[in-house]
Structure 1
Amino acid sequence: MRHFDAEATRAALPFTALIEALRQMFIEGCEVPQRHQHQLGQDLTLLIMPAWQLGALLGIKTVSIAPGNAVRGLPGLFSSYTLFDASTGQPLAMMDGNEITSRRTAAASALAASRLADPASRHLLVVGSGRVASLLPEAYRAALPGIGQVSVWARRPEAAQPLVEQWRGIGIEANAVPELADACRQADIVTCATLAREPLIRAEWLKPGSHLDLIGGFTPQMREAHASCFVNAELWVDTDEALRKSGDLLQPLTEGLITPACIRGDLAKLCRLAPGAAHQPGQRSIFKSVGTGLEDLAAARLVYAS
């Protein structure tokens, strides 16, 4: 059985290769049952997330969430990924689940944007300052090489500057912005990776023809965009699970501002289109993701092949 620590897992997932691996897996498809959730007392939640392709590979991601770890000086989340032979059940590899999750999340957004955003997009605005947010410029530039300027807004301004320095260190023209509304008005692409429970982005801030990427609202209680953002926008999701999980979608659906029929399709459909094919000049687009075990399996397959 092979072991890939965080550094080895990260090294095996460069964004150009990972984006292509996701595209291939969305076209091939795989089995992704509903995740299992178990509460261990008051302080620990366990998630078990399997996915497989019959006759090929089976992957299981195990996630433990312990919010009280902060007082212990430990991260609040630990994740591991185990890969098996889907015919024999033989364990093949153990991988760092945090690296797989964060990198495949950023890559999926970049993959969708490569189909939905204006191919001439140059200015990317990152909203958020966490692990996934830190990866988004590199992922987006792998999918849309024309991006030359990156701005970042964070609720705590002091959290934005380390990201700016990190990105400048790898040759990205980056800056922190104090006003979210003004930053949105200037950006070709706005990508949000936050834990917001109240909407941050408003429709009137977004340029005609811009692309809005919503990563963070993965529960019904979480929202990153005002319901008005979804009106008269080209709306796509990663999977239909977004209709059940995402507060960003549930709110405008409840208010009758949109219906399920407003959703143009999912990431599997986008992957069958050429880059830029789904972009309509002057028309805003939105990609709403909640994550899927298919992406984890695609990333793990890439790591195992390295």
Structure 2
Amino acid sequence: MATQTNLTEEWLAAEHGARSFSIAGGWGSADGVVASPTVDPGWFARTRTGANTSALPVVLLAPQWPGLEDSVPVALADDALAVGLLRAGVRVARLRAVNFAGSPDVGMWIDAIVDALQSVSSDAGGVGLAGTWVAGTACALAAARREDLQLLVCVGAPSAEIMSRRTPENEDDPMWTSSITLQLIEQLADLAPLEAVGVFSRPAFFVQGAADELLSAAHLEAWRAALAVTGRAGDGVEIGFTDAFFRGVDAAGAIDMHGEEGRSLMADAVATWVARTVTPASAARRVR
């Protein structure tokens, strides 16, 4: 059983005193921070309380699209993912605010993610990319533009190609035109993230809640199958009795809006996988 902790408070503690950075491009501008882990991972340099963290890999937590319907549970999932990465012993870069130049489009969003990666990778001992919900889908597209990514983590990320499918049962649903998320998904689907995720070879990890009506197991299977087609493998895990945002779901389908257990399990899964992936032994195996 995962330890019950306030994951948001844990992230805020790590964020305190973190290094700030700013980026700008044709898409707009953004400010962010790079937080270091509080626990010495052993083989990497020192903690943020020591003198040297430059040898630590840095993983960018991709920013969400503005105005999503589920912004609160998504933000909590982002906090949990950030904590999981920190517990793995890597630094975490996170944008505090993204100011788009005019009305944003998907291309501008992807450009912002790629530019943020470039900014934080200049002094890093390796760089990775992670995201939850639709930002996780966007990560698959951004990853196709960075061959040097050390790892990719997509948490609760829908396959846009699957979610955007119109069927006789759903084609008249007013959500197609009223939902910001579904409109975004259709735009992402046009860019073929399932193809993009396999452009370069790198360790990839997909985490999904196992009890969500919208995000079925078909999404997790689609990501892994897309990698398998290219001869590459992707690791995946489902967190039982949780929804797309890793909130607990009981046998009757009721969602626990405030519990931390599901998000704690997700954070633990990410921490375990990332720690195993970025060790010197794992790097040596990839070289061979």
Query: One fold, TM greater than 0.5?
Result: no
Question: TM class, shorter-chain normalised?
Answer: 0.3 to 0.5
